[in-house]
């Protein structure tokens, strides 16, 4: 693994240009497992973080780059008064229509990929020692596996996930269970993991786990 940062050129339009130059780490886990908490801790240790969930939200926020395309495709009733995507309405639509989901993803996925690559190239240019891509549905999507060098899975029990998400997002148990049912199972995710962050205990314990993970990733640089 080369330690020198890649020279960023205008031809470097996608992520695969970084492969082999800087460790590319995928970070996934079920809803409420602690992905955001772990990535915040890794950022404090100096990791370059690209949060694809955050990017997905940004492109559909007021003035987000996906908004006009969504309006054109689905109609203005899918845009809220503040100019953001009407998430509730869209969620209902795509829950009942795989075609609508596909149509939405045809708009959002290329924009998410483009912004993900832009941020990754910038973080590399800024000298990040390694990059962490936070991808909630990494196992389900399949398209990330070839790009990343290591997959980190944040793991806790289903009961803990439900408790945390009910508190964080003010959802009912049934609502959280419905989201969980649409995601890969804990077992499935763990099968693909190179490294596991156990997040069943206290935040203090998590901090120690993350420090340990950071050291392990830095070791990849020396391989």
**Site map for ligand ADP, 76-95, x if CB under 6 A?**
--------------------
Q: Give the whole-angstrom CA distance, residue 149 versus residue 138.
A: 14
Q: Tell me 15's DSSP state.
A: G
Report the residue from 153, 155, 199, 214 that binds ligand ADP according to the rule CB under 6 A.
Answer: 199
Alpha-helical regions (H) of 97-135: 98-125
Does 189 participate in binding ligand ADP (rule CB under 6 A)?
A: no
Q: How far is the CB of 144 from ligand ADP (least distance, A)?
A: 16
Q: Which residues pair with 178 in a beta bridge?
A: none
Q: How far is the CB of 12 from ligand ADP (least distance, A)?
A: 29
CB 193 within 8 A of CB 153: yes
Selection from 167, 55, 72 nearest residue 111 by Cα: 55
Report the residue from 25, 55, 148, 206 that binds ligand ADP according to the rule CB under 6 A.
Answer: 206
Interface region with ligand ADP, contact rule CB under 6 A, candidates 13-21, 35-43, 57-65, 120-128: 35-43
- Residue count of the chain: 223
Q: Give the whole-angstrom CA distance, residue 161 versus residue 32.
A: 5
Interface region with ligand ADP, contact rule CB under 6 A, candidates 17-25, 72-80, 97-105, 200-208: 200-208
Q: Give the whole-angstrom CA distance, residue 16 versus residue 69.
A: 27
Q: How far is the CB of 18 from ligand ADP (least distance, A)?
A: 24
User: Which residues bind to ligand ADP, rule: CB under 6 A?
Assistant: 29, 31-37, 164, 168, 199, 202-203, 206
């Amino acid at each position: 693994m080369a330690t020198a940062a890649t020279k960023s050129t205008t031809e470097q339009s996608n992520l695969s240009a970084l492969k082999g130059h800087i460790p590319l780490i995928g970070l996934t886990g079920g809803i409420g497992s602690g992905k955001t908490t772990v990535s915040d801790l890794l950022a404090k240790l100096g990791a370059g973080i690209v949060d694809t969930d955050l990017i997905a939200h940004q492109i559909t926020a007021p003035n987000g780059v996906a908004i006009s395309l969504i309006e054109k495709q689905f109609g203005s009733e899918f845009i809220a008064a503040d100019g953001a995507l009407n998430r509730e309405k869209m969620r209902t639509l795509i829950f009942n229509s795989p075609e609508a989901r596909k149509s939405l993803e045809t708009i959002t996925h290329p924009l998410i990929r483009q912004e993900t690559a832009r941020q990754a190239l910038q973080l590399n240019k800024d000298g990040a020692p390694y990059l962490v891509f936070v991808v909630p549905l990494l196992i389900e999507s399949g398209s990330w596996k070839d790009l990343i060098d290591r997959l980190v899975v944040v793991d806790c029990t289903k009961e803990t996930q439900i408790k945390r998400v009910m508190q964080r997002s003010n959802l009912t148990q049934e609502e959280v269970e419905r989201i969980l049912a649409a995601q890969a199972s804990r077992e499935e995710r763990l099968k693909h993991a190179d490294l596991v962050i156990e997040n069943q205990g206290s935040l203090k314990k998590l901090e120690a786990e993350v420090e340990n993970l950071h050291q392990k990733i830095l070791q990849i640089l020396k391989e």
